[in-house]
Amino acid sequence: MPRRDAAPVGEYLRLDIPLDTPLTGPEKGLVDAVEGHARNNGFYFETGDNDLSFFLHALDPAEFEGAVRALLRERGESGGATPRMHGVFTELLGKIDSVRSYGIRGGRRIYATYNRERKVRGRKEKEAARGPWFYALDHGFTPENNPLPGEFRDRVIRGDSEAVLRALPPQCVDIVITSPPYNFGLGYDTTEDGVDWERYFSKLFAVFDECIRVLKFGGRIIVNVQPLFSDSIPSHHIISHYFMEKRLIWKGEILWEKNNYNCKYTAWGSWKSPSNPYLKYTWEFLEVFSKGNQKKEGSREKVDITAEEFKKWVVAKWSIAPEKRMKEYDHPAMFPEELVMRALKLFSYEGDVVLDPFNGTGTTCVAAKKLNRGYLGIDISEKYCETAKRRLKEIL
């Protein structure tokens, strides 16, 4: 019976590497050494005449790869590390890397039986019966997209985004990544930050309406936002609710862990008392929505995220230090390039067009340029636009 490439066998996942001829004695010795080296890991080998089978339960893949490479080096050809065994282990490492589904326990990946504890039986059928995103089913968006007109491509434009974006045709940008002013009372160059909340949200939503209009079918909008706890304003929920009302599909929420313990809020008299404790947050949120479809069309050659990045970044808690150059760029609320880079690689393809309607010092445009995406950045401050242009020029 033909074997499947990666088949579950009880507690183990079986990976087969075909062989032209049986392993020699020294080659078997090498396989035993690999098995013996990592006894704590949950795997074993079986050798047949025509293949080497690897039975995999649990593994720390980085540690395993290190051990294999070290043994191949140390043992040399006479110790079984023949050219074909280099090939066999390279193939095996590739196969392990391409196993897409595993659980993680105690730092190791569990490749088989990890969802034994799953409580929901018949999950797929139940999902189908419930149906997805009921709130956006009648979205009415059509799949016809437009190119971004040349005069807006790779540009930083000074102006009010609501007005600037009106000049764009509908559905012409692939992804919006932005961080609006949070209305905390920061000292921006032009923006009055700290107006009454109704005025704040009404302006913000007017800009977002334009963003939704210019976003392509299948495009994504990602908003970095922090709630204002002292005013009991959950901005991240209010914004998400607005997008859902506008029939965008909630793709998820990324928790940006800044590890910033400089949280000053404590209500007077609330120390060690249930009277009015303030919850402290060292993180912000990235709210991710898509328009019309969860799936974004694009060609495989335009994917630039690596397997390791993908595996790490789909875990929606990103630990990234806050931007350190705010003094240098004279802007009070920049986000770090790394945050945008991850979002771009995870949610867009090379060659896509990125819009930031609250562009500030142009961090989004800088990341887009470095990652071979087109960009359009808009900010109301001339000074910030000049800084953004300078940063973009510095990229070779």
> Closer to ligand SAM at the Cβ: 190 or 276?
190
Task: Give the pair of three-digit tokens for residue 68.
Answer: 């294999």
DSSP 301-347: GG----HHHHHHHTSSEEE-PPPS-HHHHT-S-PPPHHHHHHHHHHH
Least separation, in Å, of the C-beta of 367 and ligand SAM? 10
Q: Is 381 in the site for ligand SAM (CB under 6 A)?
A: yes
The only residue of 27, 210, 352, 379 in contact with ligand SAM, by rule CB under 6 A: 379
Sign, Cα dihedral of 304, 307, 313, 314: positive
The only residue of 171, 179, 183, 240 in contact with ligand SAM, by rule CB under 6 A: 179
The only residue of 352, 363, 374, 385 in contact with ligand SAM, by rule CB under 6 A: 363
> Closer to ligand SAM at the Cβ: 16 or 323?
323
Please, what's the b/e burial string for 317-340 (b: 16 or more CB within 10 A of its CB; e: otherwise)?
ebebebbeeeeebebebbbbbebb
Q: Is 358 in the site for ligand SAM (CB under 6 A)?
A: yes
Measured CA to CA, the distance from residue 349 to residue 345 in angstroms comes to: 7
> Closer to ligand SAM at the Cβ: 32 or 330?
330
Contacts of 348 (CB under 8 A, 6+ apart): 174, 175, 220, 296, 298, 354, 373
The residue written with tokens 């102006």 in the block is 159
Q: Are 219 and 249 in contact (CB under 8 A)?
A: no
Q: Is 350 exposed, middle or buried (0-12, 13-18, 19+ CB in 10 A)?
A: middle
Q: Is 183 in the site for ligand SAM (CB under 6 A)?
A: no
> Closer to ligand SAM at the Cβ: 249 or 378?
378
The only residue of 378, 385, 391, 392 in contact with ligand SAM, by rule CB under 6 A: 378
Phi, psi dihedrals of residue 223, rounded to the nearest 5°? -115, 120
> Closer to ligand SAM at the Cβ: 109 or 220?
220
The closest residue (CB) to ligand SAM is 360
Least separation, in Å, of the C-beta of 294 and ligand SAM? 26
Q: Is 367 in the site for ligand SAM (CB under 6 A)?
A: no
Q: Which 194-233 residues touch ligand SAM, going by CB under 6 A?
A: 207
> Closer to ligand SAM at the Cβ: 55 or 384?
384
What single-letter amino acid sits at 99? V
> Closer to ligand SAM at the Cβ: 113 or 226?
226
Q: Is 361 in the site for ligand SAM (CB under 6 A)?
A: yes
Helices 363-370 and 382-394 meet at what angle, rounded to 10? 20
Least separation, in Å, of the C-beta of 304 and ligand SAM? 22
Measured CA to CA, the distance from residue 34 to residue 345 in angstroms comes to: 35
CB atoms within 10 A of CB 169: 13
Q: Is 165 in the site for ligand SAM (CB under 6 A)?
A: no
The only residue of 13, 254, 288, 333 in contact with ligand SAM, by rule CB under 6 A: 333
Q: Is 41 in the site for ligand SAM (CB under 6 A)?
A: no
Least separation, in Å, of the C-beta of 323 and ligand SAM? 7
What single-letter amino acid sits at 38? A
The only residue of 380, 385, 391, 392 in contact with ligand SAM, by rule CB under 6 A: 380
- β 249-257/317-319 pair status: parallel
Residues that bind ligand SAM (CB under 6 A): 160-161, 179-181, 188, 190-191, 207, 331, 333-335, 357-358, 360-361, 363, 378-381, 384
